[in-house]
Structures are given as structure tokens and as C-alpha cells.
Amino acid sequence: MYSLDDTIAAIATSIGQSGVGVVKLSGPEAYPIARRLFRSATGQTDLRPRYAHYGRIIEPDSEAPVDEALVVYMPKPHSYTRQDVVEIQAHGGIVPLRRILQLTLNLGARPAEAGEMTLRAFLNGRLDLTQAEAVLDVIEAKTEAALRVANEQLGGRLSAQVAGVRRALLDTLAFLEASIDFVEDEIPAQDVVGPLAEVCDQLEKLLKTADQGLIYRQGVRAAIVGRPNVGKSSLLNSLLRGDRAIVTAIPGTTRDTLEETANIAGIPLVLVDTAGIRTETADEVERIGVERSRLALERADLALMVMDGSQELEQGDWAIGRLVGNKAALLVINKNDLPLAQNQDQLADFLPNARRVHISALANEGIEALEEAIVELVSGGSIVLADTPLVSNPRHKALLQRALGHTQAAIAAQQAELSPDLVSIDVRAAVDALGEITGETVTEDLLDTIFSKFCIGK
């Protein structure tokens, strides 16, 4: 198992040039190491807990100065890891931060693994596993809505609901196991199906939020596709509110896919601007770009099929429409500022299940209507309430589904009047599945998988 007896150190801020960078230590030797490296400007020898002390970091042997710094000491258990923690806030250059980190290692600390600070917070009981995973979600949130969902999990709202459901299952399991262990005693009768059915209802309510929660956490990939020069890059710029893609009147300007994330009503929408898809091209570079466009469309959750409303439908439009197929799609009819082509009646047969939105990307007209259509298509237009605990993690969703399946199997076994030991097998499996969400039942391999996704220093 993981060791909590040693002291770890890491640069806790992004490597690069910035005004401030932080080196963090956690463990029993954090304070002694900091005292050897830090010289207070006031001559103070001790670090007062939870106060910022100004001074210099020095080379312990030569007393040569390394950098100015603020040092904060947070003694256990009132720290992020529930161990002694020291934060050294120095200038944010690569050289001074790495030098300070190396000095801590020279004095007995070891380099922290990815996510090891948060892992210690979990192992020491400050956070449960859902809250620990929410730390990463907060860091990676791309919109205000995604941040709010992450903060709800960090605050323990999902954990509380899962814990309540798990307690209900444990109560039923206790009765079943008593019935097994004390066969000859008269165990008072107890309804098993009713409580298990209530558990199923609660699990189903949580799972109903999962797809929407995943949208806010992971975002939605939308491929912008269409023939060359229909305004795909102009649409990307309009949705991003900036000039991200090069726009010219020359067909084929975009030769490769370009990805950017837009905030559409709180939904992180990963927009993939693709090269114009031609059925035939002799240009080798363009051919590669077209193939990448096809792959981008295949991997996308949503297709924004862009057409030039001022031009007649062409075979190329129909070919791209066949590539879109049954994928969720919006038909974006661009260049609304120009006279419409005469064959608009043909659009009735073109992607008949796709909603049509008329825009002018050049004049920035119809963009709000397009955004509303995207939100409606992605989330059904529903609004996430602040008090709604969302399941936003694929791991949590899979475990909730597993718990629901075992609970339903336990109900079926009880109704079939099977023995309590057979019913208890599924109840126990449901309890374990929920325990994996919050961390009561968790393996070292699972912890490795979860915390390896964190950055060093967090």
C-alpha cells in the first residue's frame, strides 16, 4: 500500500514564466526542511502556523540566496493532506522553482507522484473518492456550468446521496445475513422488496442526470462540415467570437482540422473546423485534409452541416449528407445576406431529420438562434438547477448502473422466494459497487488509475 510516512515535494504551479510559483511539501519532515531552507527577513526562527512569512530561500551549506519567497506552514490535521504542509511561494521562473525543489529533495523529501497530494488527502480521510476526483474536474472545467457541477461534487453532494442509498442496502443486507446466521432463531419478518425498490428509484434518479452531467464535464464534439467555401471557418469564428480560422474567398483555404472550445450556454462545445469535403481532388495535401475531415465527422457527437444558401444544391452536398447519415445534426444554411438560390424546395429531402437554421456568418446574423438549436439538440433545452446533484463521471455512471442491476436482481430473487443467502449475493455486490464510488471499497490499481490523471503537485 501507499506510504504516508515519508515527505513528498513538488512544484504545484504550471511550469513557465509567471509572477509566482509554488513548491509544496507534505509529510512529517516538511517543517524541518522548510526551516533549513528559509531565512526570515525579520530574523524569526520559527514559522507561525497559517501565516505568510517573508524572506529568502538559501543554500543550506553556503547560505547563498536562491530567491525571495513567502513561506506558509500548515500543521496537521488542518491542511489539504491532513499532514504537515509547507508552501514556498517564490518567483514563477523555471530555474528558481526547480532549484528550490531540488534543495527540498537534497534534504530528504522525495518527488511527489502525479496526484499524490490529493491521494494523501483521500487516504487520510479529508476527501472521499468522489470529492478527490472532483478536484481534477475543478481544474479542468471549461465553463462556469462545468465548474459548478465539479464544485457540487467537491462539496460532497453526490457522496451524501450515494452514502444514503448504500446505508439502505446495508440495512437490508444485515437482515438477510442475520436470517442466514440464525436460522434456528425467530428473526422478526422484514420487508425486503420495498426498501430495495426504493433504492432502485433513487439510483434511477441519479442515473437520469448522468448523460447531462457528462456533457458538462466532457463537452460535446461538433464537426463543422460542408463543401469548400461555404463558410465553415467563418462559422467557427462567429461561435468563438473571434478570428481563430483564416477566412478567404479561395476554396480550400482550410487544409487540416482545427479544434477550439466554445462556451454555449455553459456547455463546452468542442468545435472541429474541417477541410471542405470534395468527392474528388488531385491535390495530395487536400486529399489528406479531406480524409481527416471524414474521420473528424465519424468521431463527432454532433454535425453542423454548412451549406451556401445562395447556391444551388450540388452533388457534393448530397455526398456529405450521406456521410452525416443518422448522426445528430443541424443543417446550417449560411450566407443569408445574399439572395437565396432557387431550389430551396429540395432541402425538404436533404437531411430531413435535421433542424434548419439560417445564418450569415459574415454578418454575424442568426448565430444566437444556432446556439439555441445546439443547446436544444444536446440537452433537450433543459436547465441544470443549482441544487441538482449531477453524475458527471463515466466511472460513477458505470458503478451506479452496476448497483442498479444487482439491486433489481435481488428483488427478482426475493420475489422468486429464493434463499436469503442467494438474495444477499446481489445486495452485497450493489453495496460494493456504491462503495467503489466513494472509496469504501477500492483497490490500489483503481487508485493508481484515478490519480495518475492528476498533474504533479496536486
Asked whether the beta carbons of 107 and 21 are under 8 A apart, the reply is no
Residue 329, amino acid: A
Q: CATH says 216-379 is which class?
A: alpha beta
- pLDDT, tens digit (0-9, with 9 covering 90-100), for 366-405: 999 999 999 888 876 554 544 455 788 899 999 999 999 9
6 has pLDDT over 70: yes
The answer as to CATH 1.20.120.430 being correct for domain 134-209+390-438 is yes
Q: Residue 278: its pLDDT value, please?
A: 56
Three-state secondary-structure class, residue 143: coil
Cis peptide before 77 (omega within 30 of 0): yes
Spans of all domains in the chain? 8-126, 134-209+390-438, 216-379
Asked whether the beta carbons of 440 and 122 are under 8 A apart, the reply is no
What is the Cα–Cα distance from 358 to 184, expressed in whole angstroms?
Answer: 76
- pLDDT, tens digit (0-9, with 9 covering 90-100), for 7-37: 999 999 988 788 899 999 999 999 999 999 9
255 has pLDDT over 60: no
- pLDDT, tens digit (0-9, with 9 covering 90-100), for 179-205: 776 655 566 667 889 999 999 999 999
Q: Residue 248: its pLDDT value, please?
A: 42
Q: Residue 280: its pLDDT value, please?
A: 56
Q: Residue 314: its pLDDT value, please?
A: 82
8-126 with 134-209+390-438: one CATH topology?
no
Which residue matches cell numbers 483503481? Answer: 446
The answer as to CATH 3.30.1360.120 being correct for domain 8-126 is yes
Residues constituting the chain: 458
What b/e readout covers 362-396, taking b as 16+ CB neighbours within 10 angstroms? beeebbeebbebbbebbbeeeebeeeebbbbbebb
